[in-house]
Chain A
Amino acid sequence: MSVLILADQTEGHFKKTALEALSYGAKLAEQLNTTAEALVLGTVNEDLASLGKYGVKKVHHAANEALNIVDAQVYTKVIAEAVNATGANVVVLSHNNTGRAIAARLSVRLKAALAPAAVSLPDTSDGFVVKKVVFSGKASANVSLNTDIKIISLNQNAFKIAAGEGTAEVVSLNISVEPGKIKVTATDKVTGEIPLTEATRVVSGGRGLKGPENWGILEDLAKALDAATACSRPVADSNWRPHHEHVGQTGIAIAPNLYVAVGISGAIQHLAGVNRSKVIVVINKDAEAPFFKAADYGVVGDIFEVLPKLTEEVKKLKGIV
């Protein structure tokens, strides 16, 4: 019995999603009175023992270079072997772009019930019930995992990273890795920007900004807030902004601590992707805009007047001149 957490790495480093999964898995192990162990695949440039500070006792490391490419088929075989070798009965991984593909395959391979897009620790008072997002954020479902082995793929920004003291024992895992069928011929990483799904603060623009040439004032605010930028669907469809910034029911779903909506009306399809944000600020000149009903703070006014003033005040607070 143990909780095995896939600490996913990108180019040798652990991202926020990995630390969230580790913190969640450690807390879960505590709840189940068992130990949390991490699984690291591929070449890493970080001190693995220090993952102990997130609450894991052991780190199993399969350093095979073939694992630097995340091919879900290859990963699934390796993780399944690690589950068998460690006797884990719960597997935790991040519901990020690559994690969700692995989770689905692993569920079949291990015949293990899967809770995708999970947002809570399980309720174990009667079975093993995990809360997950459904209806694109408009509701949640309590899903009962009815098999001996359980898989939880944890939504991003759903669990707070908890770092304490501690070092983990690092064990190397000797697993033979069959090469996969997928060949990676090019990689294009968005550098410098904060990935939207990982961002704790997001400033998002809608048609109210009138055109791509006006995004400067939005980017200024985002920069002052150390926030990522996002947009509504028509903005991406008109190519004012790149597609990967499109949030909503048919774009990406995000749950940052702060979401600032600038010139976005708040259509139901837009809200579906952002309504799990902890705090929502809406700036819109129309007091009747539906977004105000979903907001915590609102400013009824013209973007071009309000935004520069807001940016100034944020800079003052942060001591940026």
Chain B
Amino acid sequence: MKILVCISKTPDTTAKIAFKNGNTQFEENGVQWIINPYDEWYALIRAIELKEKDASTVLHLINVGGAESDPIIRKALALGGDEAIRVNTTNLSDSFYVASQIAEAAKSGAYDLIFTGKETIDYNGSSIGGMVAELLDLPYVSLATKFELNGTTATITREIEGGEEVNEVPLPVVVSCQKGVAEARIPNMRGIMSARTKPLKVVEPVAADTLTSIKSFELPPPKAGVKIISTDNMAELVRLLHEEAKVI
């Protein structure tokens, strides 16, 4: 069994979101970087659990990014995994370009399972898993909340419109993971020590098209300020919601 987990680097959830150069670039100054929570808590941990069950499993991590990704890759390796691949590029704004890099690495690795998080918490594209699957012509099960393996068949519960569905799919398959698939963990001392010596291969990107470009960013307009209504005047709150806000 060979598993590839896609790991993205995102700003910490409490990071101040601001832009520079005429709102064309994210202000990275002072930002702490983390592994995208969906990638870490669900995709990576589930893959580690599968390796714990079957020690012959080979677990690789992949990140598309510059050298500034190395600390989060080491942190991921401290949680588990045998080795990591970093595709060395800072051209990260187009999902098709990024997915093309992952698909290229995945082809040569002949993986049975490719895991991604549900989406990144910065671009919120929810696209990489589906794109990689299409590039490799593999089935794709998105928004998994449970993942079980029986030999060469995966049984996956996924979120659909208004509920859930259980899918049975032969490997290889691409799966995007969310809450339910696994429980978050913290790395232990042994993991942190061993992560330092695990291989982190840096490969150069392949030529691929970019289909989109980001023109500018915007912050939402500030709220006008809160209207406080006294606890003994709920009739007034209801009136305001009905007549002023027109939402009830």
Contacts and interface: CB of A to CB of B under 8 A. Distances in A.
Contact of B163 (A117, A146, A190): A190
B235 interface: yes
B215 A104 contact: no
Nearest to A300: B228
A43 interface: no
Interface stretch (A32-40, A46-54, A105-113): A105-113
Interface stretch (A85-93, A163-171, A311-319): A311-319
Given A103-B130, A114-B95, A141-B217, A310 B245 contact: no
Chain B interface, >50% SS class: mixed
B127 interface: yes
Contacts of B176: 101
Given A181-B169, A300-B228, A310 B234 contact: yes
Contact of A250 (B38, B122, B164, B168): B38
Interface string A278-316: 110110000000001111111111100110011011101
Interface string A250-265: 1101000110000000
B240 A71 contact: no
Interface size class of A (residues with CB under 8 A): 35 or more
A176 interface: no
Contacts of B145: 243
B165 interface: yes
Given A15-B161, A144-B215, A201-B247, A73 B234 contact: no
B127 A103 contact: yes
Given A104-B128, A116-B124, A317-B248, A182 B168 contact: yes
B17 A187 contact: no
Contact of A258 (B170, B214, B245): B245
Max chain B Cβ within 10 angstroms of own Cβ: one of A141, A257, A305, A306: A141
A268 B219 CA distance: 15
B135 interface: yes
Task: Kindly state the interface size class of chain B when it binds its partner.
Answer: 35 or more
Nearest to B130: A104
Most buried by A among B126, B129, B130, B214: B130
B143 A297 contact: no
Given A76-B134, A140-B217, A258-B245, A188 B168 contact: no
Interface stretch (A19-27, A58-66, A130-138, A211-219): A130-138
B131 A107 contact: yes
Contact of A108 (B96, B168, B238): B96
B211 A100 contact: no
B198 to A, nearest CB: 27
Contact of B165 (A15, A184, A251): A184
B142 to A, nearest CB: 4
Nearest to B143: A97
B126 A134 contact: no
Contacts of B224: 296
Given A135-B122, A139-B218, A246 B179 contact: yes
A96 B143 CA distance: 11
B130 to A, nearest CB: 3
Contacts of A195: 161-162
A298 B227 contact: yes
B179 A299 contact: no
Contacts of A317: 238, 242, 248
B211 A111 contact: yes
A243 B139 contact: no
Contact of B161 (A8, A104, A117): A8
Nearest to B172: A181
Interface in B97-146: 99, 121-131, 133-135, 138-143, 145
Interface of B: 11, 13-14, 17, 19, 37-38, 41, 95-96, 99, 121-131, 133-135, 138-143, 145, 155, 158-170, 173, 176, 179-180, 209-220, 223-224, 226-232, 234-235, 237-238, 240-242, 245, 247-248
Q: Give the 4 A-B CB pairs with smallest separation, nearest first.
A: A104-B130, A189-B163, A301-B231, A113-B211
Interface of A: 8, 10, 15, 17, 70-73, 76, 95-98, 100-109, 111-117, 129, 131-136, 138-147, 180-190, 195, 201, 225, 243-244, 246, 249-251, 253, 257-258, 268-269, 272, 275-276, 278-279, 281-282, 292-302, 305-306, 309-310, 312-314, 316-317
